[in-house]
Chains A and B, each alone.
Chain A
């Protein structure tokens, strides 16, 4: 299994009570709560953690993209990717953003990603996402056009990377007389493309058909397993057999000497992540047209956004893994076999977790977990997609 150190770069000094009073850390949570002195230090703290991940032997580091929120300070992940391109010496560098529909000029992502691929001499992984619903409130992009803008921007970027320029492009949303980006990507034909999603069936079908690596965001492991099976089924339909390398699970891991200590230490920081930083009203999460009416109804009925979770629930349902080294090894092996993935996108910092605890956690994962999974692949037959 491959391990990526996945960072959200939360503004961890945020006033959690103020977030609670506002009902969300997103869009309407005033940036007067952002202290630039503290924020500047945080950027360096988090970038240092990414560099540590490289030295500790993580296979890659992952950046993320969200807008107008204390949940994550990476509206433009390319800035941080640029900062890391030379200091992360060995690990892969993944941007699991760019929210393509938010862009009025997707050619700039073709350029930005190609530059990063050159800077890293081909260690770059290109993520394409739609962004979550809150982004459409924040950035003034019509959520009804989200899917078609994503599809068009993706096609344009991949063509820009693979077809000799210049050529003309005339889409519904984007038009160019000259598509001819310099530089071209370092990797041939282009950097690996990864598609993170909350589990939309159309996204899974498309990612499988395109043979892109599918990354499942924050979900209970049983749900992850079902979505990964859906991917394998879709690959079968597309006429090939998907490998575990095409599936990545985005999780949170915290390791301490004992289960009890790990739970005690992680609790406030993890609960701050899910119950404060992540919370938002359903109207913000799912603006009309962002997804189809059936999935909107499903999410509204489940009332997922308003729910408060305890660390016990998160651990029990396998959204996160928290415990002693042996507990974490045991769970991770069990989940890998259940869901059949070969990449772990692991948040080692989460919520309000301070720097010293994050670094201790990263070190523990690198020493106690990574070596045991280096050559481990999913074992046994993954169960069928039945509910």
Chain B
């Protein structure tokens, strides 16, 4: 098992947390609304083959909340700065949920440092007529349960995440999430116009039973990003990298290997 380091880096005056482990091509993971959390099993597995880099967004967890942070575009530009500062090239960018939205916004601005893009149950666009849970009217426990298709898995996560010592960080993450997604709820009405600019191989991994951003979103993204591929993970909710980690890893590795074969 590959180990990892946790450090703080400063990018243009903003200090953020950064977990990093493994060796190989850089694989940058942008986390979702719950924060970067800990070095999860899927990160550990990917670190066998990649240099896995997991920053914690400004405003989340132990990262600074800079004055300039107002919306998702600010984070897209910030991560372009991060790529520059760490001088990362040929990056496999993986964005999960809220992080998927940031990744898409980053990629329409520049794919110069990217080798590929993977969006996992991503926010960012709006598909009319698709029912979505309003997570801001859900209790803390419901919100964790909403992530999972398998409620036995959810039981375990509720126990692990609903602890008083995690409350402050959880509330900080909630405030930052609200800042970024409250209105319009989880999307930018202009993003869809520019997704055609994404010119790196793109994979769209979605849980079959995602109730937050149902799989219609995967197909909508597919129509907007040229050449993108959809993989629907069966019996899975909003977080395939957690709920179906083995499937997620094998699909991601298969996609990246396939790219190399094609190249």
**A residues apposed to B, CB below 8 Å:** 28, 136-137, 140-145, 281, 283-284, 287-289, 293, 296-297
Contacts and interface: CB of A to CB of B under 8 A. Distances in A.
15 contacts: A140-B183, A142-B179, A142-B183, A143-B178, A143-B182, A283-B139, A284-B137, A287-B136, A287-B178, A287-B182, A288-B171, A288-B175, A288-B177, A289-B175, A293-B175
A288 B174 contact: yes
A142 B137 CA distance: 14
Nearest to A296: B171
B199 to A, nearest CB: 33
Interface in B151-189: 167-168, 171-172, 174-175, 177-179, 182-184
By Cβ-Cβ distance, the 9 closest A-B pairs, closest first, are A288-B178, A288-B174, A144-B179, A142-B182, A288-B175, A289-B175, A140-B183, A293-B171, A289-B178
A141 B175 contact: no
Contacts of A145: 179
Given A287-B182, A288-B171, A297-B167, 12 more contacts: A141-B183, A142-B179, A142-B183, A143-B182, A144-B178, A144-B182, A145-B179, A281-B139, A283-B136, A283-B138, A293-B171, A293-B172
A305 B139 CA distance: 13
Contacts of B184: 140
Contacts of A296: 171
Interface residues of B, number: 16
A70 B35 CA distance: 37
Q: With a 10 A CB-CB cut-off, give which of B137, B139, B184 has the most chain A CB atoms.
A: B137
Nearest to B174: A288
Contacts of B172: 293
Q: With a 10 A CB-CB cut-off, give which of A144, A145, A281 has the most chain B CB atoms.
A: A144
A338 B248 CA distance: 65
A136 B137 CA distance: 12
Contacts of B137: 28, 137, 281, 283-284
A283 B177 CA distance: 14
Nearest to A292: B175
Contacts of B136: 137, 283, 287-288
A142 B178 contact: yes
Contacts of B171: 288, 293, 296-297
A25 B55 CA distance: 42
